[in-house]
């Protein structure tokens, strides 16, 4: 629980991710939580077999993207720390996103779309913040890498799922 208290302020841009302790167990727990929360949200929107494929791809793309970026930056030794930081932030946003997703799928109210868009912007801002700090790059570069991350992880998973299931 102490390590969660150290990572949570990151979700409000109050913690430097380079100062967070790496923990393989905490990483694993966040990865499992991430997978099942994403799966729950996807199963509310698409068929179960499509949801499983899409979430598995998203998770794999996330982990691979972090590994590739850190390898290119010659900082792979920070993998657990960076991946955990991203997963913790994704999980916090997902906690807010679950009721919004249910609201969106049940009512299709315009306000649910606006709030969902705000959550996506918050997510992109957090990933940008984490990458800026962890890779020691400027804001423009970290925003570009963050956008590429979203295109690859979410767009790529969605595109491949559509290609498989039509």
Give the mean pLDDT per block of 10 residues along the chain (166 residues). 94 94 97 96 90 97 97 96 97 93 84 93 97 96 97 95 91
- Token couple for 110: 């315009």
Q: Count the alpha carbons within 13 Å of 27 in the hemisphere toward its beta carbon.
A: 15
Place of tokens 């499509």: 50
Task: Report the pLDDT value the prediction gives residue 166, as an integer from 0 to 100.
Answer: 78
Q: Is 149 helix (H, G, I), strand (E, B) or coil?
A: helix
Task: Report the pLDDT value the prediction gives residue 1, as an integer from 0 to 100.
Answer: 79
Q: What angle separates helix 48-72 from helix 139-150, to the nearest 10 degrees?
A: 150
In whole angstroms, give the CA distance from residue 145 to residue 166. 29
Task: Report the pLDDT value the prediction gives residue 58, as an integer from 0 to 100.
Answer: 97
Task: Report the pLDDT value the prediction gives residue 109, as an integer from 0 to 100.
Answer: 86
Residue pair 97/119 in contact by the 8 Å Cβ criterion: yes
Residue pair 131/142 in contact by the 8 Å Cβ criterion: yes
Task: Report the pLDDT value the prediction gives residue 108, as an integer from 0 to 100.
Answer: 80
Task: Report the pLDDT value the prediction gives residue 106, as an integer from 0 to 100.
Answer: 84
Task: Report the pLDDT value the prediction gives residue 103, as an integer from 0 to 100.
Answer: 87
DSSP per position, 102-130 = HHHHHH--HHHHHHHHHHHHHHHHHHHHH
């Amino acid at each position: 629980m102490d390590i969660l208290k150290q990572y949570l302020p990151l979700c409000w841009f109050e913690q430097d991710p380079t100062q967070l302790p790496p923990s393989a167990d905490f990483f694993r727990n966040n990865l499992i939580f991430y997978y099942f929360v994403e799966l729950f949200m996807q199963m509310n929107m698409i068929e179960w077999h499509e949801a499983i494929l899409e979430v598995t791809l998203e998770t794999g793309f996330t982990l691979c993207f972090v590994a590739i970026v850190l390898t290119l930056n010659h900082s792979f030794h920070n993998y657990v720390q960076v991946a955990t930081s991203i997963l913790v932030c994704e999980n916090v946003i997902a906690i807010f996103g679950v009721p919004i997703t249910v609201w969106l799928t049940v009512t299709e109210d315009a306000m649910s779309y606006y709030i969902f868009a705000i959550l996506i912007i918050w997510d992109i801002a957090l990933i940008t913040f984490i990458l800026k700090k962890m890779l020691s790059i400027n804001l423009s570069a970290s925003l570009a890498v963050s956008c590429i991350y979203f295109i690859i992880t979410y767009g790529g998973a969605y595109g491949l799922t559509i290609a498989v299931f039509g």
